[in-house]
Amino acid sequence: MSRDVARAAAQWLALLESGAATERDHAALQHWRDSHPQHEQTWQKAQTLRQRFSDLPQALAMASLDRPQPGRRAVLKRALGLAALVPTAWLISRQLPIEAWRADLHTSTGERKRVALADGGSLQLNTATAVDVDLAQRRITLVDGELALDVPGAAPMTVQTRYGELKVSQAEVCVRQLAAGCRVSVLKGTVQVRDLGGQTATLQGGQQARLKTGGLGAWVPFDVLQLGWRDGVLTAQNQPLGDFLRELQRYRPGVLRWEPSLEALRVTGSFRLDDTDRILDLLASSLGFRVQARTRYWVTLS
């Protein structure tokens, strides 16, 4: 189950449990379920789990019918609410592993962090990122998310990922851990990559490749603007709006949804990540769509 699909299923489930879902919401959910087999599989798991947990509140409700004191009803109401959230919490836990909570350094959604290293280098964490740091062994373990590492000296720093490891010295690299591999982008210098099978390869500055269970994929050149998050900027150059919004979602807590008709609109510009509400307002005014906010954490574009 991918992180993005699990998160989406949790958000849909939370909307249905809230009782605020409209006919349009139900239609959008059906469209999401139909758009990919994994969406439907994940949704069915969520429904099965919700049904499994629904029995307990019903039993509690029956047992409390003969004692309807206001205080007891309030306690029962809280119990019902907690039980309804269990499936959502379970889905979220599948895409936010407990290792991330226990990590040495971590950032929340929308947060970015920069740490100076003793050798004059730096470690930056992007949104929703967790790392373990062992400076004595000069090893950084990317538990989840995305990091940027600058190692100016010759003493190498190892970056451990779920799909292999990197040796970084006199180089700058960005590593983003994805559902099916890591995206390794070398900004300058050279980085040695070792996959899970023990095979090694070298990436040069300006090169980017996917490190997966099966090894390192072919390298491609990349645009350094895609790594603008290090400066708090999200940049698009004639990018489909759907792709831009999916990237913007990483920096916003809560739910952001949009109508399928908006997917193909094109976006060009640089946007400050410290105010994602303003980004949506700017896009709405330039591209002609509406921003409908139920709350700060539930926004629909139409």
pLDDT value for 165 = 97
Span 25-44, average pLDDT:
82
Least confident among 57-61, 69-73, 144-148: 57-61
Judge whether residue 70 has pLDDT over 60: no
Q: Which residue has the higher pLDDT, 203 or 26?
A: 203
pTM value is: 0.70
Judge whether residue 140 has pLDDT over 90: yes
Beta-bridged to residue 295, according to DSSP, are 298
H or E element, residue 2: none
Predicted confidence (pLDDT) per residue in 250-280, tens digit: 998 878 999 999 999 999 999 999 999 999 9
Q: Which long-range contacts (CB under 8 A, 24 or more apart) does 232-238 make?
A: 232/112, 232/272, 232/273, 232/274, 233/270, 233/271, 233/272, 233/273, 234/270, 234/271, 234/273, 234/279, 235/269, 235/270, 235/271, 236/267, 236/268, 236/269, 236/271, 237/268, 238/266, 238/267, 238/268
Judge whether residue 79 has pLDDT over 60: no
153 DSSP 8-state letter? S
Judge whether residue 81 has pLDDT over 70: no
Judge whether residue 73 has pLDDT over 60: no
Q: What are residue 62's phi and psi, to 5 degrees?
A: -65, -40
Distance CA 193, CA 207 (A): 12
Q: Which residue has the higher pLDDT, 174 or 58?
A: 174
pLDDT value for 84 = 43
Judge whether residue 29 has pLDDT over 60: yes
Q: Which residue has the higher pLDDT, 34 or 120?
A: 120
pLDDT value for 51 = 60
Predicted confidence (pLDDT) per residue in 197-218, tens digit: 999 999 999 999 999 999 999 9
Q: What is the DSSP string of 255-268?
A: EEEE-GGGTT-EEE
pLDDT value for 224 = 81
Q: Are 109 and 91 in contact (CB under 8 A)?
A: no
